Structure 1
């Protein structure tokens, strides 16, 4: 009986819940304007979304079948189709899990009631947009959710209220609008050519012609800007480093991944007939350049959050190394992409949350003045160390498995040059992340050579990091259970 109820809920009601619930919570938080109530309903709703997405992922991965909902029973091309496949199910589960950790963190983060009152409605609209992107099977509805995602992300950055945050949010707004315009022009070309907007219908009809090539180029440029692929990454460091810690965590862990999800879907599901070997090679080269450049800028960054932001530029590059591998070993490359997204998302969110505690406690995030903070903030440094291991690719972390999968794919595809990029990127990541850990465990000295005595810091300040600890543990768990997870992902397609 219980199994039947769960199956009915997952197959019939779980998709509407992903949109309706966050919208309702956003409206409640906006209308009521009560911080205590907003915190309670946000945590409870976050837990419910995790359960819903966990049931969805279990159903999709075990049944090897997508969950579909046709709105109003109007079949495409007249109607709108919403669906959850193995990729989107994992993205939804990751979004809800990271979202819950950030939600818990945010209940104890803000010192200003005014900021927190504005945060919660925008936060839930951001969750709505992310869920909408992952379940949309219509390229125009994807655009609508993409616009909602961009506007809420800009507003969340601006909440910080500093001049740097306002400048970063304005720059992000311009970049986001331009990227969305490029995407919309591509959608217009596709609709003008085939008269349909449904993903599956377009994939069945598309041909390799000039108009579709132009559409793919426009969509690619737009999404490259939104996911900050080198050399169109210029907006990301200032936006991520100047936003509040919970916003930085979501931007780096999920918002840029949503743009990548759209781009990956167009290249390898919708407009696959247009994709050429030369095109995927170019994308791989951009990815390799992002790994090298982002790592270098992270190593030379004077601020902790800026270092983590440039690390995101580098880590995004790894995802694009899988593009040329999708031609030779599509199943393995797809598995590597999914694994890397999950490993990086959990690690980077936890790292930004830990950096937020460090910044609030110390009053700054200047690396030169963070010597010895391991004795003040042991939990924050523990989280930073565990997530660093994943970003570097050290066993037994999920990051190690993700990079190992990419390396194996490159070897099997006889594309050894990507192996070289993986090794160089890992060494550079070690350099800039161990730079932080070395400072954290170095005891500062006074001018007379004696050890400087720290002022006592209340350990209550780290209580908000329980969610971040959970994300750190996930990065290890998915590394220790690599065989089971990769077999589960692979068996679903």
Structure 2
């Protein structure tokens, strides 16, 4: 029998391993000698990724597209319930894919990780990410978010003395976001007496309290996901953090906050469908996202350092995801709502792959040349073609050009925008893609050989092959999933608001 054909009860029993397993491995990594941590990290990544593959593969075949487990047999509201659906399954798969890649990349040395402390912190981060995606109640979502914050801030601080101030800024913003979300959780419990998502959704009633819950969650998660104007921590944290950490922050950490926002908005906020407050918040999110797309993109065009360019690119790309609150409205026709939801979620996955590839490639260039300034990268396309190709391919996916994964996502979002007659959103998607292509072209152009001087010097440091191969493979995955994307769209559409939409 194939591991993917396991009984649903057996598959459900694996859900705790995706959270508790990395926690135990992180604790082990913290106490073993530093020289053993890379080997332990590789083994841990292999185990967690294999378990994720079995769960996600079984999830696709599960009746109703969902797995659920009540820990120790205690059902909600008394017990802790873990749930996995199409959306959480897709993010578990993204986390495992990027996680394996970053783990392999981290074997390149302390220069790209910040030191041996990277390994236990990274495994703790992985546990927190899986905890966010699998938590069946609001309180454990909050707990997982706090573990995620602590691990992410500590990882940023591995950048050394220059990373201390950015890490503290990130900590302050993230804690404020958590407190706002905790207040929203308290309001839900005060009205319903439960914290389980499904039970709370049945008991919540439309009114000022629900509007307040949505507003608090929107602002709190916007701070954690760096949605403009609450983005100030991200452009300083990325350049200060080691390359492997920057990839984790952009590809995975901000996605956890986005997942929580969407879950509260579409599950708990279902009772407020058509409410003017909910509609106003969705419009405000879309406006903030629009400004972020262009402001972040223009800032990326102005910067002269690779990591700053890619950091502001993340600010811009988060803007697209803020549009989903409006485009995936279940009150819209089914096909339109499905396109908005699946487009937004596929964009999350496409952004995760492309941004991980881009940050890792940029880190490789900076390590090899001793700088990430554009003026110091002449000749890199000759001496490090695979790394430069990773930057270019990832940028093409972020711009939404065919045949990449990003193109599939933006096509879905365009379909939703046209179905809702939101022509201004169409303009944002198209013009934002041009800006993305512009700063990607600027980064690639900086690596060309100087005119009339083909014998440009090689980089100062000869980097291990893994530092070039890993980002290139991630970038290549952005193309592969763009071609073979039907199963991914089907998986995420199964968890769309209102049920399995066409």
CA contact (8 A) 1:380 1:462 kept: no
Query: Which sits farther off after the overlay, 141-150 or 453-462?
Result: 453-462
Q: 2:323 is paired with a residue of what secondary structure?
A: helix
Identify the residue that residue 253 of structure 2 maps to in structure 1: 255
User: Given the superposition, is the C-alpha separation of residues 4 and 316 from structure 1 closer, same or farther in structure 2, using an over 3 Å criterion?
Assistant: closer
Alignment of 1:18-417 (within 5 A): 18-35=18-35, 37-63=36-62, 64-111=64-111, 115-163=114-162, 165-275=163-273, 276-327=278-329, 328=332, 329-417=336-424
Q: How far, CA to CA, are the matches of 1:74 and 1:491 in structure 2?
A: 27
| Cα distance, 1:6 vs structure 2 | 3.2
Deviations 1:55-81 (A, max 9, x none): 222222233421101112111111111
1:485 aligns with 2:494: no
Tell me by how many angstroms 1:8 deviates: 5.8
Deviation readout 1:68-118 (Å, 9 max, x if unpaired): 0111211111111111010000100110110110011112131499x4221
2-structure distance, mates of 1:203, 1:241: 41
User: 2: distance between equivalents of 1:103 and 1:51?
Assistant: 14
Query: Residue 440 of structure 1 aligns to a residue in which SS?
Result: coil
Q: Residues 38-59 of structure 1, C-alpha deviation per residue, up to 9 Å, x if partnerless?
A: 2122112212222222222222
Alignment partners' CA distance in 2, 1:7 and 1:45: 25
Q: CA-to-partner distance for each residue in 1:295-346, whole Å, 9 max, x for gaps?
A: 0111111210010000000001111112211122322211111110111100
Gaps of 5+ in 2: none
In the superposition, the TM-score normalised over structure 1's length comes to 0.94
TM-score by length of 2: 0.93
CA–CA distance in structure 1, aligned partners of residues 225 and 295 of structure 2: 16
Out of 124-133 and 469-478, give the one that drifted further.
469-478
Q: Is the 8 A contact 2:5 2:58 kept in 1?
A: no
State the match for 1:14 in structure 2.
14
Contact residue 62 and residue 488 of structure 1 kept, 8 A: no
Contact kept in structure 1, 2:403 and 2:483, CA below 8 Å: yes
For structure 1, the 5+ residue unaligned runs are none
Shift of 1:254: 0.6
CA shift, 1:220, in A, is 1.3
Secondary structure, in 3 states, of the residue corresponding to 1:271?
helix
Q: Structure 2: how far apart are the matches of 1:337 and 1:404? A: 10
Q: Which residue does 1:436 correspond to in 2? A: 443
| Whole-angstrom distance in 2 between the partners of 1:156 and 1:292 | 29
Cα separation, 1, equivalents of 2:3 and 2:311 = 44
> CA separation of 1:457/1:292 partners in 2, compared to 1, >3 Å: closer, same or farther?
same
Select which of 465, 470, 473 maps to 1:467: 470
C-alpha displacement at 1:461, in angstroms? Answer: 3.0
Secondary structure in 2 matching 1:461? coil
Range that drifts further, 66-75 or 130-139: 66-75
User: What is the rounded CA distance, in whole Å, between the counterparts of 2:293 and 2:455 in structure 1?
Assistant: 38
> 1:453 is matched with which residue: 451, 456, 460?
456
Deviations 1:200-231 (A, max 9, x none): 01111111111221122112111000001111
Relative to structure 1, the CA distance from residue 4 to residue 180 in structure 2 (aligned partners, 3 Å threshold; closer, same or farther) is closer
Q: Whole-Å Cα distance in 2 between the matches of residues 489 and 174 of structure 1?
A: 33
Q: 1:240, CA displacement in angstroms?
A: 1.3
CA distance in 1, matches of 2:53, 2:412: 24
SS at match of 1:128: helix
Deviation (angstroms), 1:161: 0.6
Q: Number of residues paired by the alignment?
A: 486
Distance 1:212 1:112, change over 3 A: closer
Q: Deviations over 1:341-388 (max 9, x none)?
A: 111100000110011111111111111222221112211101111111
After the TM superposition, which segments of 4 or more aligned residues of structure 1 sit over 6 Å from their partners?
A: none
Partner secondary structure for residue 83 of structure 1: strand
Say whether the 8 Å CA contact 1:361–1:461 is kept in structure 2.
Answer: no
Kindly indicate whether the alpha-carbon contact (under 8 Å) linking 1:11 and 1:68 is maintained by their aligned counterparts in 2.
no
Q: Deviations over 1:162-218 (max 9, x none)?
A: 32x111001001111111111111111111111111000111111111122112211
Distance 1:366 1:73 in 2: 56
**Distance 1:225-1:455 versus aligned 2 partners, 3 A rule:** same
2:38 and 2:202 mapped to 1: Cα distance?
A: 46
Partners of 1:450 and 1:116 lie apart in 2 by 38
Q: CA RMSD in A?
A: 1.9
Q: CA separation in 1, counterparts of 2:41 and 2:130?
A: 16
Determine the C-alpha separation between the residues in 2 that align with 1:132 and 1:303.
35
**In structure 2, C-alpha distance between the alignment counterparts of 1:180 and 1:22, rounded to whole Å:** 23
TM-superposed CA distance for 1:490, in Å, is: 3.1
Distance 1:384 1:310 in 2: 15
The secondary structure found in structure 2 opposite 1:247 is helix
Give 1:482 shift: 2.8
